[in-house]
Each structure stands twice: as structure tokens, then as C-alpha cells.
Amino acid sequence: MITTRNNDLLLQNIDPSESFPVSFEQLEQAAQEKMGKGAFGYIHSGAGREETLQKNVSSFSKYAIVPRFLNDVTELDTSVQLFGRTYATPLFIAPVGVQKIAHEDGEIATAQAAASLGIPFIQSTVSSYCIEEVTEATGNSPKWFQLYWSSQNEDISYSMVQRAEAAGYEAIVLTVDTVMLGWREEDVNNQYSPLMQGFGKANYVNDPVFMASLPNDDDDSIIQGIVDNIYHPSLSWKQVVELKKRTSLPILLKGILHPEDAKLAIENGIDGIIVSNHGGRQLDGVVASIDALRAVVEAVDGKIPVLFDSGVRRGSDVVKALALGADAVLVGRPFVYGLAVGGQQGVEKVLSNILQEMKVTISLSGITSVRDLRNVTIVKR
């Protein structure tokens, strides 16, 4: 239990000298002003006609909390228990690759910001800084590693997982919805690929198994090696089961939307799932992530943790996802924009605003712990 005494969080945030953008829309605009067209397009856009990208956000307004009053909400316990550990808040940093396109300090800044707020950082395979660099910068703050399966040479996957384990990372997130990149028109329009520009190579160039697999160690061979490995259409339950045998860390599957896949994950010994559609960047027209959550939670029936992302823009979105049964919630684009606008401090500001609105929303709903959010009445319009 990590209980904090509620203060009036709004009034604490009224500071005439403060000028950081608060709403997601303002934040996005400020980030756009800081970034080149290609980099901003890569972050903000989605796949296809961006139907899913938009629905991810708009669908939150279909769900409404029905608050209870006259409960004593002086204290609030924000902690969650996952895989035998206690985390201070139900917020996580979603794995986002190539963060140097947003800010030179990339994942180092984000991981340090997360550490300062006790929020676990999930590091992408295609990071701009490697596992060991992030560890050196953040010590033993909670970190998980997101794995993109390596199709050409599975030993590269096992090697990265081992490195994460050796560095003290606490779980492995295997992303299952990106066997190939989604059809992202804005990137084609802008003729922009951060992967091809080498922004996501840090974990690869520091991996002995990957480097030994290349014909040469020049830049072109490295980029070609990454592009070849990241395309992994043959990924199936067989590799998932094998991966499970290769690590003692809990494994979560990220990108689950169908209740039957959730059941298969349990049958195959998986430790947790993340309901996500990759922020509308992969399969366009797919169900909004928040609309998929409840059925997955029901299918899982408490057997393993269910985490959630895609479309979270503010603290009240976090609360709705938790009320619909998520055990924790990942924040994506908002922190990336915070990074672009203000580096580590920008990420801290964005996360802190989300966290504070989350706390206010829980307390105003008449609830005193994240755990009890399950019991809140939520109606669908």
C-alpha cells in the first residue's frame, strides 16, 4: 500500500510563472513547432485513413463514471501489485522507439523522468540508447524491456532478453501486432523512416549476437540487418512458448485485442497481456483499444494481469481504463511530446499532470484506492 494524503492538487498547480502546455492538443502543437516534419509525422500519424487512431481517443467518451459521495477520500492508495512487485502508481511508460527523433537525450531523459516519479519505464527494442546506457543513467528504478522478435536469427532475441535480465529489468513485453510495419501514409508522403536513418540501432549495435550475424559491420549492413530482423511474419505461439523457457522474467504479450487470444496466452503460460492496437499505427479499422478491454478482462477472469494502452491522453482516461478492469495503463504519445518540448523536465511535467488528474478523478469518484476502482459504476452511452 502506498497511501498519500490528498491535497488540493489543482491549486498547487496554479503558478503564474508556469507556461508549459497542459492539454494534449496544446502539447501536440508545441511539439510540432519543435520538430521536423518527418519526425513529427512519424510520431503523430497512424496507419491507413487513421480511423483507429481517432477512435482510440474518441471512444473514451462513451464510458462515464457514476460517482459516489460522502465517502472519506482524504487518503488515496495509488499502488498496484504486479508479478509480486509493488509499483507506486498504475502508470507505465509505453515502449516507444527512436526517441532521439524527439530530443537528443531520448530514452535517457524519459527513463530519468519516469524514475523521478516512480513510474516504470518500458524500453523499446528499437531505442536510440541501449539497455546498458539506460541502466547506467537510472540505476535500479523499475524497467521492463519490449522485444521485437528477430525473425532471421532468434538468438538475437534471446541475447537481448538476457541483457535486459542481467541489467535488472523486471519483465519482458513481446509485441505481437508488429510482424511487419503498418501502412503509414504520412511516412510515405514525407519519405521518412527513422529506422533507416539509424535512430533505432542502439540495442543492435551493442548486441554481440547481432553484430556477429552481419557480413560487415559498416552502417549499411547494420541498418539492413535491423530491417531484415524486424520483419517477422512467421511469429507464432511456438516461439512464444520457447521464449518463455529462455527467461525467468514474466512475459507479457502486447497487442492483444481478441478474448480468444487472451485465453490462448494463458494456456501457453504467458504471465500478462497488454490490450493495445499500437496507437492506431498498425492495423487501421481495428477496434478502439478501450472498446476491446472489457471482453478481454472477462476472458482472462483475473488469472493474469491485463494492462492497457492506446488513446490515453489524460488522467481521467487512465481512471476509465482501470475501472473497466485494467491493472495498469501505459502512456504513449503524450510523454513523447513532453520529451520533444522540454526533454526530461517536459516528460516529468506531462506525467505529473496525468498522475495528478488521475488522483483527483479517483478521489472525486468517491474511491480511496486504485484497487477499489473495479467497484466503481461505469456506464456506456
Rounded CA separation 21/30 (Å)? 8
291 Cβ contact list (under 8 Å, min separation 6): 55, 59, 62
> Shortest gap between Cβ of 76 and ligand FMN (angstroms)?
24
97 lines the binding site for ligand FMN (CB under 6 A): yes
Angle at 323 between CA 320 and CA 325, to 5 degrees: 115
Residue pointed to by grid coordinates 488513446: 311
Distance CA 82, CA 103 (A): 31
Question: Which segment (28-36, 137-145, 183-191, 307-315) binds ligand FMN by CB under 6 A?
Answer: 307-315
**Which run of H or E residues covers position 348?**
helix 333-364
For the chain, the first-to-last Cα distance in angstroms comes to 34
Binding residues among 67-96 for ligand FMN as defined by CB under 6 A: 94-96
Q: Do the strands 377-380 and 63-66 form a parallel or antiparallel pair, or are they unpaired? A: antiparallel
184 is an interface residue for ligand FMN by CB under 6 A: no
Q: Is residue 329 a contact partner of residue 321, using CB atoms and an 8 Å limit?
A: yes
Q: Is position 146 an interface residue for ligand FMN (rule: CB under 6 A)? A: yes
Q: What Å distances lie between residue 314 and 67, 252, 320, 365, CA to CA?
A: 18, 24, 10, 16
User: Least distance in Å: CB of 277 to ligand FMN?
Assistant: 8
Binding of residue 292 to ligand FMN (CB under 6 A): no
CA separation for the pair 335, 113 (Å, rounded) = 10
Among 44, 103, 232, 278, the active-site one is 278
Check binding of 123 to ligand FMN (CB under 6 A). Answer: no
- Taking CB under 6 A as the rule, does residue 124 contact ligand FMN? yes
Region of 104-112, 182-190, 262-270, 306-314 interacting with ligand FMN (CB under 6 A): 306-314
Site membership for ligand FMN, residue 182 (CB under 6 A) = no
Is there a contact between 308 and 326 (Cβ–Cβ < 8 Å)? yes
Query: Residue 252 forms beta bridges with which residues?
Result: 173, 272
User: Residue 278 interacts with ligand FMN (CB under 6 A)?
Assistant: yes
| Contact pick of 27, 35, 39, 126 for ligand FMN (by CB under 6 A) | 126
| Minimum gap (Å) between residue 264 Cβ and ligand FMN | 19
Closest by Cα among 122, 37, 56 to 257: 56
Q: How far is the CB of 71 from ligand FMN (least distance, A)?
A: 31
Q: Give the per-residue contact string, 36-55, with ligand FMN (x = CB under 6 A; - = no).
A: ------xx------------
Residue 273: φ, ψ to 5°:
-135, 155
Q: What is residue 61's DSSP assignment?
A: G
226 contacts ligand FMN (rule: CB under 6 A): no
Q: Binding marks (x or -) toward ligand FMN, 322..341, rule CB under 6 A?
A: ----------xx--x-----
Per CB under 6 A, which of residues 241..260 are in contact with ligand FMN?
Answer: 254
Whether residue 44 lies in the annotated active site: no
Catalytic amino acids?
Answer: 278
Instruction: Name the residues that contact ligand FMN, by CB under 6 A.
Output: 42-43, 56, 94-97, 124, 126, 146, 175, 254, 276, 278-279, 281, 309-312, 332-333, 336
